[in-house]
Chains A and B, each alone.
Chain A
Amino acid sequence: MNAEQKRAWLGVVTGIACVVGYVALVPFLGPMAATGAFGLYGINGFAGFIGRKERADERDRSIARRATLGGAMASYMAFILGCMGTWFIAFAWLGKEQVSVHLLGTITFVGGIVFYSVRSTVVLVLYGRHMEADNA
């Protein structure tokens, strides 16, 4: 397992921890305050210390580029769907003409988590396909 895979695993694990933490805190703190669980994603910052001296070759860079593109696309989609979905739920279902401004920060943060989680997953999937060759 190379440094990029280790960083990807950290991204996946912290992403899952965020979701689990949020779901666990909602009954006690409510849906808005429970977003504090997203702070767990800060652990992902330690990824910068993993494999700093490890050399990446062109295949590693190619995988990283494809994963980043996938993450960015998913993040953008999550952000737009989050924004539009919020308005749709507020107007069409709840009959409200206003939504809390705090939701924008939450949607942005979710977009960030989606970016790193999808990027990490794509990295693991692409390396996994190449590892099939290693095990063959």
Chain B
Amino acid sequence: MPEIINLIRRLRFDNGEMTQEALAVRVGVTRQTIIALEAGKYTPSLALAFRIARAFNKRVEDVFQYEVPIKE
């Protein structure tokens, strides 16, 4: 099953160790949503993905990547 992976956690630390709460406020969601995103438990809408990318001054594809797991 294909999965969307993200680099939110790493980008937060690369951006002055931005807290989850700060990112959440910036993109207009709750901290719990950022936690779920970082853990790969929730796939964001396209609009939220763009807002997150913009918060890091990155392109969407620099933050979110489409990964097809290798079949065993």
Contact = CB atoms under 8 A, between A and B. Distances in A.
Residue from A2, A55, A57, A136 having most chain B Cβ neighbours under 10 A: A57
Contacts of B35: 130, 133-134
Interface of A: 2, 55, 57-60, 62, 129-134, 136
Contact of A130 (B28, B29, B41, B44): B41
A59 B33 contact: yes
A133 B6 CA distance: 15
B39 A57 contact: no
A15 to B, nearest CB: 25
A2 B30 contact: yes
Contacts of B45: 58
Nearest to B48: A58
B15 interface: no
A57 B36 contact: no
B32 interface: yes
B30 A133 contact: no
B15 to A, nearest CB: 21
